[in-house]
Structure 1
């Protein structure tokens, strides 16, 4: 038990150290007026989003410091999504409603909708956002000027995740935790390795030229996780990518129930860590560093484990979670729930891996595709 406690302390210390470095390196881009001739196309794939789409479009129309257009691709919605966007377009010429053609063979739905959006866009920059994202007025200009100043192919931001229920709190916090706790941000910004490519699909801004150069979403037509995959494609083509703090640039409430969150995260887990080559390693890193510490403290109180490394591991694990929570503006319940959240995150990954192994599929908004 002593060895296990020491390992838990070591893995928690690793996450705390890397997280501290990342938090020191990652910033929100400052607001600057975009250069003359810059136009940001805000592109929204939408399938049955009548509860979200008006607020999403209106937040984009409130953008400051850059010319914008807002293009919504209605992809087979059976609710009032198209009607709502049509009414907004009638009031503001910057809004356009497009209708996705039938899904071609070999494509996944959201990726197909995003490619059709890019085809319809007129801007110098393509800002893909999900329908549940609300952009801040400074977001489009800040991301566009940041991209231009650094010559990036892609800059992505993780919006402030709005979490109100237990189901969200036990799942959604893993996005920022993995990004800030384990992605080596200084290396990402200085090395071109494809493995360092990362992005949050909720908010991704491409230069038009870089997007077209890699073949856009068509180059990953059979995949689901466009954030990771397009970032890696860009790096394969010599284009750098970056991730910035996005809590002041956008907000997003992804899910409202545990079932929604589980289904949403499991659908593209196999394009992240849910592979036989990666998941056992992640299970050790996350399990020892963040799931075991509170259990070890309980064992230490019973005299079955050494108290010092157990307490140290728990303090480091909760400490880095608290620092990430503060930087990202997330709900403070993410801190005491952190061990359970990591355990649920690992369960989702393992469930995805085993499900894929049985030949099951994944989908988007009611469309189901066979596993690739």
Structure 2
């Protein structure tokens, strides 16, 4: 038990130290004077988004500090999504509705829609958002100011994640926890190595010239996790990417309930952690640093495991979760549920790996894609 206690403390300390450094480096973009002629194209792929698209477009229209155009790609919707956008476009010429052609073989739906949107865009910068994202009025201006001021070809951030059910709290906050607890921001900022690349597809801005130079979404046409894949693509081609604090720039409720969250995260997990090589390592890092201390607690109380070591591991584990949760303005319930969140996240990853190994296809919004 002493050995396991020291393992738990070491793994918890590693993530806590990296997380503390990342939180110091995570900043909301600062306002800067923009290059003359700057325009942001807000690009929204939409498939059966009648519950969200109106609010998404209206929020984007409130943008200040930079000229914007808003283009919505209706991707085969069977609901009133196109009608809602058409009504808004009739009273504001900054809004355009376009329709996606039939999905070509070898493409995934959202990636194809984003590719087509980029072809329609006129702006110097492309801001890709999901239909359930609500931009803050200064979001577009601050993101482009950061890109221009720091010489970044891509800037992304995680919107404030709105979670209203227990199932959402158990799953969605892991986005910020994994990024801030395990992605070395120092490596991301100081190098162009693809392995340090990460982005959130909910809020992702690119310089149009760089986007087209690397091939944009067309270069990742068969992928589902466009945030990670685009960041790595840019870096492989020598461009710099960055992550900024996105919780004041936008808000998003990405899923409703546990079942939808599970399916949403499992569909593209194989493009991130859920590989035969990476997942065992992640299981040791996450399980050892954040689940093992809880398992050891009864043994520490009974005097079988060293109490000080176990309590220190627990303090570091829960302390990191608390710091990230409070900083990103997520629900405090995620702190109390921290070990359960880790267990669910690992379950999703292992389920995704098992699904892929069996050749079962991934699917989303009525579309099915071959398993890789």
TM-score, length basis structure 2: 0.99
Q: Where does residue 115 of structure 1 map in the other structure?
A: 115
Distance 2:371 2:126 in 1: 29
Distance 1:84 1:299 in 2: 59
Aligned residue for 1:170, secondary structure, equals: helix
Q: Where does residue 93 of structure 1 map in the other structure?
A: 93
How many residues align? The count is 372
Distance 1:364 1:32 in 2: 39
Q: Where does residue 139 of structure 1 map in the other structure?
A: 139
Q: CA deviation at 1:233?
A: 0.8
Q: CA deviation at 1:143?
A: 0.3
Distance 1:111 1:299 in 2: 49
2:230 is the counterpart of 1:257 = no
Q: Where does residue 174 of structure 1 map in the other structure?
A: 174
For residues 97-246 of structure 1, the aligned pairs below 5 Å read 97-246=97-246
Distance 1:52 1:257, change over 3 A: same
Distance 2:339 2:33 in 1: 42
Q: Where does residue 80 of structure 1 map in the other structure?
A: 80
Distance 1:202 1:255 in 2: 12
Q: CA deviation at 1:366?
A: 1.4
Tell whether the 8 Å contact from 1:33 to 1:141 is kept in structure 2 after alignment.
no
Q: Where does residue 319 of structure 1 map in the other structure?
A: 319
Per-residue CA deviation, residues 127-153 of structure 1 (Å, 9 max, x unaligned), is 000011000001000000100111111
Q: Where does residue 266 of structure 1 map in the other structure?
A: 266
Distance 1:299 1:256 in 2: 38
Q: CA deviation at 1:164?
A: 1.5
Distance 2:355 2:304 in 1: 37
Q: CA deviation at 1:332?
A: 0.7
Q: CA deviation at 1:30?
A: 1.7
Q: Where does residue 25 of structure 1 map in the other structure?
A: 25
Distance 1:298 1:97 in 2: 59
Tell whether the 8 Å contact from 2:159 to 2:251 is kept in structure 1 after alignment.
yes
Extract unaligned runs of 5+ from structure 2.
none
Q: CA deviation at 1:302?
A: 3.0
Tell whether the 8 Å contact from 1:293 to 1:310 is kept in structure 2 after alignment.
yes
Q: Where does residue 2 of structure 1 map in the other structure?
A: 2
Tell whether the 8 Å contact from 2:50 to 2:80 is kept in structure 1 after alignment.
yes
Distance 1:132 1:31 in 2: 25
Tell whether the 8 Å contact from 2:34 to 2:148 is kept in structure 1 after alignment.
no
Tell whether the 8 Å contact from 1:32 to 1:65 is kept in structure 2 after alignment.
no
Per-residue CA deviation, residues 181-227 of structure 1 (Å, 9 max, x unaligned), is 01100111011111011101110000000100011101011111111
Distance 2:210 2:294 in 1: 46
2:368 is the counterpart of 1:360 = no
Distance 1:360 1:201 in 2: 24
Q: CA deviation at 1:33?
A: 4.8
2:66 is the counterpart of 1:66 = yes
Q: Where does residue 53 of structure 1 map in the other structure?
A: 53
Aligned residue for 1:78, secondary structure, equals: coil
Tell whether the 8 Å contact from 1:110 to 1:364 is kept in structure 2 after alignment.
no
Tell whether the 8 Å contact from 1:156 to 1:204 is kept in structure 2 after alignment.
yes
TM-score, length basis structure 1: 0.99
Aligned residue for 1:93, secondary structure, equals: coil
Aligned residue for 1:223, secondary structure, equals: coil
Aligned residue for 1:335, secondary structure, equals: helix
Aligned residue for 2:78, secondary structure, equals: coil
Tell whether the 8 Å contact from 1:290 to 1:342 is kept in structure 2 after alignment.
yes
